[in-house]
Structure 1
Amino acid sequence: MTLQEDTKNLPPITYSCYFARSREGEQFVKEHVFSYQISGSLIMNDGDKVLSSHPGDFRLTRRAHLLKFLKMPPEGGEFKSLSIYLDQETLRKFSLDYGFTADNYQPTDAVIALKPDSLFKSFMDSLQPYQQLTQPGNEKLLALKQQEAIFLLLKVNPDLKNVLFDFADPGKIDLEAFMNRNFHFNVELKRFAYLTGRSLATFKRDFERIFHNSPSRWLQQRRLQEAHYLIKEQRKAPSDVYLELGFEDLSHFSFAFKKMYGIAPSKL
């Protein structure tokens, strides 16, 4: 399971277990995710900051953000984490039922580190048997656990209401600054458009006015320029940079690089 999958097709409670180091690439976080790191480490990059989560840590990953992450199991052990998805439909219903609303909203990081708390630990321990309840017919039980998670988050950190119950879409922001900061994320143009507060048509129109190029052509050129710098100046291997810069496979990256610079990246 990865956060980049469409959460509509995922159960509300998910349990991740990996034996090998797993590089997941890019993702668009569609819904809030409350997680507990059981073992191993998770290294995350939101384009501005590198964040890490270690055994015993709790975190809330905010919706409508871009992230890259690396799952690292301990020596001779397993990477394990437990997560519960808090989708917008569930949170809207909770807001109406119990009268919670957001106020004085202040932007926060893509991943919020939560202080360890015995209530969180007891809750996450109670979730582990629920991995057996993801088959149809147990929706009400899972919904109750989602509600319990929301109550606990608000009990331990009341200010999280300004995150959980902020239902606004991203507002219109500086497109040039955003793209220069996030060009290495391999997501669809509609995600970039949404995150900059635009329709896809408006995004394309604004993009071409600012960059004098189409989004797809600019993205490839910008990623190749960064690759050239990392390989030549930072002495990084092509196999280490192509995923980092949003290319899906090494052969496509090498072909595009040679077409632009007249030399294979391995020969640079």
Structure 2
Amino acid sequence: MSMRTEKIAKAPQKLESAPDKQGSLKQNGLSIIKFCLHTHGKTGSYFLKDHLLLFVKSGIYTVRFGDQEYTVRSNEMVFLHKSIRIDYEKSGEPGSEFKLDYMMFFLNENILEEFVRFSGYKPMYPVNELVPVSIITVSPFTQAYIESLKPYFESPDEVSDGLVRLKFMELLYHLADSNNHFLLELLQPGHNKNSNISKIMEDNFTNPVSISDLAYLSGRSLSTFKRDFQAMYHTSPLKWIRNRRLNEAKKLLLETPLTVTEVCFTTGFENIAHFSKVFKLQFGLPPSEFRLQSHTREDEPGQGEPLS
């Protein structure tokens, strides 16, 4: 999959208006979204606001995180940890007119805490390192559970909020029975306690993250994250991200052939007009004029010649 220059969609919020959505069940931050489309290779990027369990009923869904690639095929499931950016490629099977049929289960922290209290499940040993992406075993019980959701999507308005929550709990029970290590990772408290703030900021400054997302990634409360960040950088996280994005945009304008629109989206800005405005405030010229003037200076006689 090639580098994306489009907006990074924040999931699950942006998925509710996706054209290939067949239906959804929602309750207090929990979402089950069903998709079905015909595609020979559709690519894009997500920033995951919540934990995601993705089940492929038919077709192929490829996920890339960092330098790792994971291929999820028919009747397979992948777990994606919250607060990470992923790139994806969707493809249907050739023998079915390239049909891709899949479901996305978004889990927030509340349902996990409720599951722990309700089930009495306790991790038996600590997990030393978080695995952001992992393939999950799909047992016959889990497959039967997936099939049981069909009538719910056919009449979503008749499904109560409590029943949606109960179906999420049922899914977690199935996974607990067949994937013990997965739940150990998911339920392990403090897995990223006091993580390196500078690395988190460098890894995520182009992603559509909130300050709460960054605090979570660092293993800190929001107030502690802001205090530690201020002590380290002597500015606010929002100002730091804006300046870091602008400096990266300046570099891309000078060193790459990317269009201004591509530079805007690549560096994490979501609006061209806003990007041009803040770029001009920072560097004195709008992006297109800045690039043109920089290239004009380079082409002037005597520019770039060694001093005698």
Both structures adopt the same fold (TM-score exceeding 0.5): yes
Partner of 2:79: 60
Structure 1: gaps (5+ residues): none
Partner of 1:41: 61
TM-score of the pair, normalised by structure 1: 0.76
Partner of 2:13: 5
Question: Given the alignment, which residue of 236, 259, 267 partners 1:245?
Answer: 267
Q: SS in structure 1 opposite 2:226?
A: helix
Partner of 1:194: 216
Distance 1:110 1:214 in 2: 28
Query: What do you get for the CA RMSD once the two structures are aligned?
Result: 3.6
Q: Identify if the C-alpha distance between structure 1 residues 87 and 174 changes in structure 2 by more than 3 Å, giving closer, same or farther.
A: closer
Q: Identify if the C-alpha distance between structure 1 residues 201 and 237 changes in structure 2 by more than 3 Å, giving closer, same or farther.
A: same
Partner of 1:132: 154
Q: SS in structure 2 opposite 1:83?
A: strand
Contact 1:18 1:78 in 2 (8 A): yes
Contact 1:18 1:73 in 2 (8 A): no
1:173 deviation in Å? 2.1
Contact 2:126 2:188 in 1 (8 A): no
TM-score of the pair, normalised by structure 2: 0.68
- Whichever residue aligns with residue 248 of structure 1, its letter is E
Partner of 1:28: 49
Contact 2:35 2:103 in 1 (8 A): yes
- Whichever residue aligns with residue 160 of structure 1, its letter is F
Contact 2:72 2:78 in 1 (8 A): no
Contact 1:12 1:146 in 2 (8 A): no
Q: What's the % identity of the aligned pairs?
A: 23
Distance 2:116 2:260 in 1: 49
Corresponding pairs, count: 263
Partner of 1:111: 133
Contact 1:100 1:165 in 2 (8 A): no
- Deviation digits for residues 39-70 of structure 1 (CA, Å, limit 9, x no counterpart): 4635454xx4554554424111224x232445
- Whichever residue aligns with residue 112 of structure 2, its letter is L
Distance 1:241 1:9 in 2: 36
1:142 deviation in Å? 3.3
Q: Rg bigger for which structure?
A: 2
Q: SS in structure 1 opposite 2:262?
A: helix
Q: Identify if the C-alpha distance between structure 1 residues 145 and 18 changes in structure 2 by more than 3 Å, giving closer, same or farther.
A: same
Distance 1:134 1:11 in 2: 14
